[in-house]
Structure 1
């Protein structure tokens, strides 16, 4: 499976390295695209790819996603804040029959498989809340805090619009469960944390769940990105190569992905 990676920052760089080192079974690096890549280079890379990984910016993702899906190619979207820009992101960013899929990695949190299952069981009496606790600098809080402070409370859509670089996990959670406008997000700046913390609370007739995650921060991200995020993308790619979805344990086997024959 040929993978084109768009973006060479904290996430894109780590995905590129994982592909180059052969740490994503069934996948290999086909192309790397940067903001400086020529239009014809972008077109050639998309045409040759079996899947495209977007790890750039929200603005770039807004243009890239429909361009990729129109060719019938799948795209893994890391700049999830792009979905908050549209009332119906499926209509704007996903094409019609024959279009490629828009895939969203879990990113910095887990448990989306059980939460999505709970949402499928019924959402009328369900609620979901996501707490994100990060260093003040990662949230662009310039004030020298001496104690933790809540800097945002609102919907996942509002969080993504206000904190587009640090709300990807909230958007993924919302898309998997109750949607961007029913998922509550609380963002906390804490000067005493060395890692990023996420707490997810779900309650509905089918069950009550509380999930907690404490992630090391990618040193190249300015404290904004959890180191696990790139490996979440790698897990999506591995799942695509094996013909199964994330959350499914594949012990053996896998189906081939049709695409151009590799160059000699």
Structure 2
């Protein structure tokens, strides 16, 4: 395994690999912004799976290279898909897959199943409640304030570092342009909160998640996110497992 990025998520994933927390997985290298193109090429050649945790610009550049080489890449900066009309376009026709972890939310299995049953009458709403600083909201704020309401695509373009959960939900269900996202800045928040509401003829589901923040992320990233990536790596090593969105050139978006 190779990890791209040494920040809050990448550093934690690399540490979990070194500590043996992911059976069957071994860390080969960690790529940083200072890594040369030769080092990047060597990592792609040597690793079976790469973990991207370096931001949407890096994801945009490296996903086609990795998938074209026939390798799988776990993408944490999944806001990159908001830049493309079809999420599969970024795979560039390669044999490799893009794996999107559930990250800060859960329930992708039941939501994907509900979407498979039919989406014409389906609706999905995702509330994200974070600290003002994490959302770039400055100045005095005495009460919670709604700072965004729109589609998952629009949320990812406006808040690329804090909307990954919205994108994962959208990819697993009804798409980036139909999932409604509401972002709230709350000055009293101590943990990031996510509320997911689904309704369709097959059922109605309300899910709530309250996550501790990674201390190295400035309040933007839930601590569970890195462990979600580790869970995906473990599932890949075992050949099966839940909680991941698969994007490939050969098939539509699906979950396993």
Distance across 1 between alignment mates of 2:152 and 2:238: 31
Match of 1:131 in 2: 127
Match of 2:219 in 1: 223
Distance across 1 between alignment mates of 2:24 and 2:201: 40
Alignment of 1:1-264 (within 5 A): 3-91=1-89, 93-96=90-93, 99-247=95-243
Runs of 4+ aligned structure 1 residues displaced above 6 Å come to none
1:192-231: CA deviation from partner (whole Å, max 9, x where unpaired): 1100000000000100000000000000000000000000
Distance across 2 between alignment mates of 1:164 and 1:152: 13
- Bigger relative contact order, structure 1 or 2, given CA contacts below 8 A and separation 6+? 2
1:180-199: CA deviation from partner (whole Å, max 9, x where unpaired): 00000000000011000000
Distance across 2 between alignment mates of 1:62 and 1:128: 27
Helix, strand or coil at the partner of 2:9: helix
Give 5+ residue unaligned stretches, structure 1: 249-264
1:74-128: CA deviation from partner (whole Å, max 9, x where unpaired): 000000110001111202x1133x5100110000000001000000010011000
Structure 2 length as normaliser, TM-score? Answer: 0.94
Distance across 1 between alignment mates of 2:110 and 2:185: 28
Give 5+ residue unaligned stretches, structure 2: 245-256
1:228-256: CA deviation from partner (whole Å, max 9, x where unpaired): 000000000000000003249xxxxxxxx
- Number of residues of Structure 1 aligned to a counterpart in Structure 2: 244
Match of 1:257 in 2: none
Structure 1 length as normaliser, TM-score? Answer: 0.91
Helix, strand or coil at the partner of 1:104: strand
Distance across 2 between alignment mates of 1:117 and 1:49: 32
Give the Å deviation of 1:169. 0.2
Contact 2:144 2:184 in 1 (8 A): yes
Distance across 1 between alignment mates of 2:19 and 2:242: 21
Helix, strand or coil at the partner of 2:101: coil
Distance across 2 between alignment mates of 1:185 and 1:234: 27
1:122-170: CA deviation from partner (whole Å, max 9, x where unpaired): 0011000000000000000002100000000000000000000000000
Helix, strand or coil at the partner of 2:166: helix
